[in-house]
Amino acid sequence: MRTFVAIDINEEIREIAKEVIDKLQNIGFKANWSKPENLHLTLFFMGEMDEKSVDFMSQTLNKRMYGFPSFSTSLNGFGYFKFKNSPRVLFLKLESTKSLQKMYLEMKSELNKHKIKYDDQGNFVPHITLGRVKEYPDKWEELVSQIEIPKLTLVIDGFTVYSSTLTPQGPIYKWIYKSKFEGGLIKNVR
């Protein structure tokens, strides 16, 4: 199964994301938009893994993160990744706090220690993907620079392991494991 490790977001951030997607559509962006229920902060994209490997990885990460202090970050604006002068991915930025970086590096170190493969993008840029761009308006950079994002807080007290099934209607995400820093690893048995 295609697997990734993520941080779930709260309902307030989900609402802001929906509003921003509406604004982007109104100014002429066409994209494969993320469904509100699929929005999250990806930590690691693992690719194809069998069930035993997912179980092992989840238990290993859960053990490593046990006792990690809960922390918060906040929405930090609107952003995009571009190729040449074309926008490719539109997203909400999250503040890259010391705690968020430390959590990411702890988890990365654990994956590396057990030689668990993941898609390493180099620098960790905390963001919530809104859409992958297909078409965009003229002067798009000027238009998106006017999008204002309120500062909302996201409390982080654990992580979730998801499976991703690709369908013609878009990906379907299903949580496999939820881990809390204060202890506890829940497996979805559906």
What whole-number distance in Å separates Cα of residue 60 and Cα of residue 83? Answer: 36
3: three-class secondary structure by DSSP: strand
pLDDT at 91: 97
Residue by residue, DSSP assigns 6-21 as EEE--HHHHHHHHHHH
Ramachandran bin of 46, using left for φ above 0, alpha for ψ from -120 to 50, beta for the remaining angles: alpha
Give the predicted TM-score (pTM) of the model.
0.91
What whole-number distance in Å separates Cα of residue 62 and Cα of residue 71? Answer: 17
Clarify whether 114 is annotated catalytic.
no
Domain span at residue 167 reads: 2-187
Q: Among residues 40, 75, 144, 179, which one is catalytic?
A: 40
pLDDT at 3: 96
How many independent structural domains does the chain possess?
1
Q: Which of 158, 163, 166, 167 is nearest to 186 (CA)?
A: 158
CATH number assigned to the domain comprising residue 23: 3.90.1140.10
Q: Tens of pLDDT along the chain (190 residues)?
A: 999 999 999 999 999 999 999 999 999 999 999 998 999 999 999 999 999 999 999 999 999 999 999 999 999 999 999 998 899 999 999 999 999 999 999 999 999 999 999 998 778 999 999 999 999 999 999 999 999 999 999 999 999 999 998 888 778 899 999 999 998 899 987 6
pLDDT tens, residue by residue, 105-149? 999 999 999 999 999 877 899 999 999 999 999 999 999 999 999
Query: Exposed, middle or buried: residue 183 (CB in 10 Å: 0-12, 13-18, 19+)?
Result: exposed
pLDDT at 171: 84
